[in-house]
């Protein structure tokens, strides 16, 4: 059964609170654009394409309520700085607003197009996956991170449903545990064989010959193919290269920032150190010790075997 991260209900947005997963399935009813902005910032919804879709509905809610379009746009934009889909979707909504287009139709189109792109990437990407492959993935790039199906996890889904008998190593993905909480939850629901590993297990598994390829998503891709993705992605790319293992990135065109060139052009989100020092309100580090929390890192093109998009495969 395929899960959904959000659902537009004609005049409000239902959002599955991903902070509560996998223990509880709590749905939030968002009626105000500021609630949408807060949900993105606090990571009730996360994953670049899902953030973009939800922000589009947030823009619709704000403008419909008679708020100033420019301030709605800025409030939603100032939530998370790295995921390019957020900026892409808001720009598209703003353009639609200026042209007097139907904003509800535009937001729905953004959602539908993302879903279709994911299905297409699944079809294209599964051809790269050998039968019986043991795939390592990082963070959550599935239905929860998109309008449905998923990017990297979408390729994994498509490979599974085409009878490739794949197996998935799921990086737990510190500190938010998007791998162990969300990816494992999605795989479990669909009966796709997998095992959760700590992030630091990847290298040892590769050395033992237990990983056939690495598949990850992306939050922003520059014109020269530097890829920003969940912290830990770069380390995986270095490990994959050292072990001669293919390293694939799966992302729709809405993740490609044509204005960005070179790794310094990407703003990397830094989040609160408390998110590293506490898990679900329980302290796991001395209160006095400082921590550094980069939410993303950047993988250079030379570490990437291929980038799979809905338009085809790019070899950086």
Piece in contact with ligand MRU (CB under 6 A), picked from 26-34, 144-152, 198-206, 297-305:
144-152
Q: Which of 114, 171, 212, 219 is catalytic?
A: 219
Binding of residue 141 to ligand MRU (CB under 6 A)? yes
Calculate ∠ Cα 271-56-266, nearest 5°: 40
Phi (first) and psi of residue 315, to 5 degrees? -110, 100
- H or E segment at 299? strand 296-299
Closest to ligand MRU by CB, 206 or 295: 295
Binding of residue 146 to ligand MRU (CB under 6 A)? yes
Q: How many CB atoms lie within 10 A of CB 26?
A: 13
Binding of residue 219 to ligand MRU (CB under 6 A)? yes
Binding of residue 15 to ligand MRU (CB under 6 A)? no
Query: Cβ-count burial of 275 within 10 angstroms (0-12 exposed, 13-18 middle, 19+ buried)?
Result: middle
Catalytic (active site) residue 297: no
Is the Cβ–Cβ distance between 211 and 248 less than 8 Å? no
Calculate ∠ Cα 292-297-298, nearest 5°: 150
Binding of residue 217 to ligand MRU (CB under 6 A)? yes
**Sites for ligand MRU among residues 172-201 (CB under 6 A):** 178
Applying CB under 6 A, among 145, 221, 245, 276 the residue interacting with ligand MRU is 145
Applying CB under 6 A, among 229, 299, 303, 305 the residue interacting with ligand MRU is 229
**CA–CA separation, 207 and 310 (whole Å):** 32
Instruction: Give the Å distances, CA to CA, from 223 to 85, 98, 253, 314.
Output: 15, 28, 11, 12
Contact flags string 243-282 toward ligand MRU, x per CB under 6 A: ----------------------------------------
Binding of residue 81 to ligand MRU (CB under 6 A)? no
3-state secondary structure of 6: strand
Which residue's Cβ lies closest to ligand MRU? 217
Q: How far is the CB of 99 from ligand MRU (least distance, A)?
A: 29
Q: How far is the CB of 47 from ligand MRU (least distance, A)?
A: 4
Is the Cβ–Cβ distance between 15 and 5 less than 8 Å? yes
Tell me which residues touch ligand MRU (CB under 6 A).
Answer: 46-49, 83, 139, 141, 145-146, 151, 178, 217-219, 229-230, 295
Report, as residue numbers or ranges, the catalytic residues. 219
């Amino acid at each position: 059964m395929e899960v959904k991260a959000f659902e537009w209900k004609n005049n409000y947005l239902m959002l599955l609170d991903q902070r509560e997963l996998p223990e509880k399935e709590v749905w939030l009813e968002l009626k105000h654009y500021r609630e949408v902005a807060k949900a993105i910032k606090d990571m009730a919804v996360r994953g670049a394409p899902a953030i973009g879709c939800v922000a589009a509905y947030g823009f619709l809610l704000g403008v419909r309520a008679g708020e100033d379009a420019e301030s709605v746009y800025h409030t939603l934009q100032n939530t998370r700085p790295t995921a390019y889909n957020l900026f892409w979707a808001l720009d598209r909504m703003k353009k639609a607003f200026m042209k007097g287009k139907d904003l509800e139709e535009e937001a729905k189109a953004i959602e539908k197009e993302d879903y279709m792109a994911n299905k297409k990437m699944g079809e294209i990407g599964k051809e790269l996956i050998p039968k019986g492959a043991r795939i390592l993935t990082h963070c959550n790039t599935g239905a929860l991170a998109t309008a449905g199906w998923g990017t990297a996890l979408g390729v994994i889904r498509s490979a599974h449903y085409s009878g490739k008998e794949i197996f998935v190593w799921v990086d737990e993905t510190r500190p938010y545990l998007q791998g162990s909480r969300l990816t494992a939850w999605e795989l479990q629901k669909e009966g796709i064989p997998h095992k959760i590993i700590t992030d630091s297990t990847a290298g040892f598994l590769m050395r033992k010959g237990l990983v056939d390829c690495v598949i990850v998503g992306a939050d922003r891709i520059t014109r020269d193919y530097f890829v920003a993705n969940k912290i830990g992605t770069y380390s995986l790319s270095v490990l994959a290269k050292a072990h001669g293992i293919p390293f694939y990135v799966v992302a729709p065109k809405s993740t490609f920032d044509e204005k960005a060139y070179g790794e310094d052009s990407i703003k990397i989100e830094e989040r609160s150190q408390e998110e590293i020092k506490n898990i679900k309100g329980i302290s796991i580090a001395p209160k006095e010790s400082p921590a550094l929390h980069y939410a993303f890192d950047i993988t250079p093109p030379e570490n990437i075997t291929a980038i799979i998009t809905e338009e085809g495969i790019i070899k950086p």
